[in-house]
Amino acid sequence: MAEDQARTTGTERAVTCLTWALLLLGLWLWGRGLTGVPHTPDGPATGNLFALAPAETARLPSPAKPLGSAVPQRVDIPQLGVTAPVVSRGLDAQGAVDPPPFDQPGVVGWYGAGTAPGARGTALLVGHVDTTTRPAVFYKLSTLKPGETVRVVRSDGQVARFTIDDVRVLPRAGFDAHQAYGPHRPGRAELRLITCGGSFDRATHSYTANVVVSAYLTGTTR
């Protein structure tokens, strides 16, 4: 019984965290569709986003020309020792983006109806932070720093290399989906890596925040 309860609690924790963040993503996309106004802020997100590692733009490389659209197959984060398969995720019956399967904590989910990693715009990759028994794929996501690298292997044979320029924690209170998911610079190919953050609230079976790592395309290899 205790084991079953722990498993249930862990599943609820994973469901609540990423479903909350991705539901807000769905609402943001819905709002964009209604207004028809593109969101293109002129600088890194601010406000209710607490920077873990503020960008030092003078030391970062210039952005590379965006690529065409291609399906992401794998994401590599050398600094974390992460090499993970990527699966496309869509919307559920409630209009939220489905997170990765709960029984596959080493898998990263890509919002397949959105931008492909390397193409112009903001591509979204989401992953769990932990399970009831061990860390998951994005457990150490908050330790990344500006200037470090994320690589995405694409179905066209190209490997898109992204340079991190911002790492932030977004508290649930006062959450601004546009600041989280909108592009930081018009015309760039950008990437967001998202997982749970803050502390785990046992009363609500959820985390209090999300970690959002922002990066932009700076090169490609084959």
Determine whether domain 2-221 maps to CATH 2.40.260.10. Answer: yes
For residue range 176-216, list pLDDT tens digits in order.
677 777 889 999 999 999 888 766 666 655 666 788 999 99
Q: What angle do CA 170, 86, 220 make, to 5 degrees?
A: 90
Spans of all domains in the chain: 2-221
- CA–CA gap between residue 110 and residue 132 (Å, rounded): 23
Question: How does pLDDT run across 50-74, given as a tens digit for each residue?
Answer: 555 555 555 899 999 999 999 999 9
CA distance 20 to 208: 10
Closest CA to 217 of 64, 41, 62, 61: 64
Query: What is the spatial distance between Cα 59 and Cα 145, in angstroms, rounded to a whole number?
Result: 12
Token pair for 41: 């802020």
Digit-coded pLDDT (tens) for 98-123 = 777 778 899 999 989 999 999 999 99
Neighbours of 124 (CB within 10 A): 25
- Give φ, ψ of 178 to 5 degrees: -65, -40
Six-digit token string for 55 = 């960008």
